[in-house]
Structure 1
């Protein structure tokens, strides 16, 4: 018979609102896996994209508290420096390094990866957190739809370029995705969202679904290197991105939204907990692997999965 806590956990997950809000966090934190050791990341290096606010800044602080040297990847250096100072004040003695890079700009990603690789021989943790929910369809200078470039193409390229550093450390890669991906499928016929009426919310969900699949594909690819790859969704957290992109949702759900620290908890746990290095390719929420579809008979079409990988290779010119 399943434990009562397992049943409770599943009920929270399937009913969505209790599980995704601070209610789920508070209930599950009473019986979830143990915290990492306080010095779990001493001597380790971590890189967090989208590190200047919200979940990214909370993850930076959490990783620094465990002893990691944290490389903060930001698009705006001024905002990034402000965030760095805030984390440094919160975590005395934290070793934080700021880097400017626009993850949606593949040229910017290549330039950063070259600089980082020249200066650092290894990387223990890579957190893909940078995100966007565009109000209208926009393209990068390279002709890619912005949500696709930010959530999929940029992370794919960065992972591939930093593969030697990750392999040297037998490191971990964490994709910060969204529960909104449950409402979307892969769209190999129109990955750049050029057809039909564009919706930023739909583009966000579609590319977050793609992130989950991409994490699984990278997990298989990097297994031989001793590198583990996971994806995780934070539930519903009170972050600047949510507030600006979904003001109506924030007004209604505000009192129940998780703090950024609660939303980032599993990101930090996956980066440091021994258990998370013994398996790979999981989709996590609140320190537990979750199904990637609501119904057990649903799945991502194998041909669509292959098309996603081929799209990433074609658009980034990264041949793995």
Structure 2
């Protein structure tokens, strides 16, 4: 697995890929969270290059506008809107979603890219551990709140072109099991890396659960692993890892490639609930017997529903 996550794995696999048509996303509007830098900014650039209009969801407007300007410098005709939305703040998620429903006619894609890796256990104003709120609860709520727009972006007369929701997970999720017994990480010694891995595992399972839940709405849901990419988050939170693996790290464009492909390619529009890496479905477990028990999966769904309340 390790060489495959590196720049070398990407270069070897991408040599056989076909280029997506330049107009693949023309007429489609896609929202990207955590898009003020790193993988999020690269995802925005990849989407607008294929003709999409993009909603950039950011916590800091100034940083978001700076990222938008960098993308516009390379793609001056791109249609990009910067919107403030803190995924860890459920009230702010509701506020943004209400505004989006007033402004937009339809939403054809949603990329859950926002991520955090805190050094110490931190609670949001709503009382949730920061990784859980940012990676799981916020995306769950945002998806539900934007469902009217996603339905509008999935017309029944175009069954092969549904609106697509994509979770940007991590290979770190392979090191974690689905923990619904202590989702807020209140027990034991807190580890930012462990909290990150746990919630990235939750994202993959949640994508599968949402795929089933939204099938009737015609919305496809997927999760993906970007490989080891040289992002500001890695530099700031994992400096030792970056020093060791630096020459092997992917560029942010390489890391974002599959997220863009999942929004534009034909194959992901014909299935749902799949975990992808480098444009290929991958197993969510490599060890036998690692699959989540039905009661654990049901526990994750109940956790999300109880935390976000009625929508």
TM-score by length of 2: 0.96
Q: Deviations over 1:258-297 (max 9, x none)?
A: 0000000000000000111001100000000000001244
User: Does the 8 Å CA contact 1:35/1:273 hold for their aligned counterparts?
Assistant: no
Give the structure 2 partner of residue 212 of structure 1: 204
- The corresponding residue for 1:314 is 306
- Partner in structure 1 of residue 241 of structure 2: 249
CA positional deviation for 1:318:
3.6
Residue 263, structure 1, aligned to residue 266, structure 2: no
Query: Could you tell me how far apart the structure 2 residues matched to 1:289 and 1:35 are?
Result: 19
Q: Distance in 2 between matches of 1:302 and 1:283?
A: 19
Question: What does 1:185-200 align with in structure 2 at a 5 Å threshold?
Answer: 185-200=177-192
Structure 1 counterpart SS, 2:254: helix
Residue aligning to 1:5: none
Residue 17 of structure 1: aligned partner: 2
Match of 1:105 among 70, 81, 89: 89
- Structure-1 residue corresponding to 2:284: 292
Q: Does 1:172 align with 2:134?
A: no
Aligned partners of 1:296, 1:68: CA distance in 2, in Å? Answer: 41
Partner of 1:272: 264
Whether 1:28 and 2:13 are equivalent positions in the alignment is yes
Query: Shift in Å at residue 70 of structure 1?
Result: 0.4
Aligned pair count reads: 303
SS of the aligned residue for 2:91 comes to helix
Match of 1:3 in 2: none
CA contact (8 A) 1:185 1:206 kept: yes
Larger CA deviation: 289-298 vs 254-263:
289-298
Out of 143, 153, 156, the position equivalent to 2:140 is 156
Aligned pair partner of 1:67 in 44, 51, 58: 51
CA contact (8 A) 1:51 1:57 kept: yes
State whether residues 35 and 269 of structure 1, in contact with CA within 8 Å, keep that contact through their aligned partners in structure 2.
no
Which secondary structure state, in structure 1, belongs to the residue aligned with residue 197 of structure 2? Answer: helix
**Does the aligned pair in 2 maintain the 1:160–1:318 contact within 8 Å?**
no
**For structure 1, which runs of at least 5 residues remain unmatched after alignment?**
1-15
The C-alpha deviation readout for 1:201-234, integer Å capped at 9, x for no partner, is 0000000000000000000011111110000010
Cα deviation 1:115-157 (Å, max 9, x = unaligned): 0001112100100000000100000000000000000000000
CA distance in 1, matches of 2:289, 2:173: 17
Determine whether 1:235 maps to 2:227.
yes
2:128 is aligned to 144
SS of the counterpart of 1:138? coil
SS at match of 1:37: coil
Runs of 4+ in 1 over 2 A off after TM superposition: 295-298
Q: CA deviation at 1:31?
A: 2.4
Consecutive unaligned residues in structure 2, runs of 5 or more: 155-162
Cα distance in 1 between the residues matched to 2:295 and 2:230: 36
Q: Is the 8 A contact 1:52 1:79 kept in 2?
A: yes
Relative to the length of structure 1, the TM-score reads 0.93
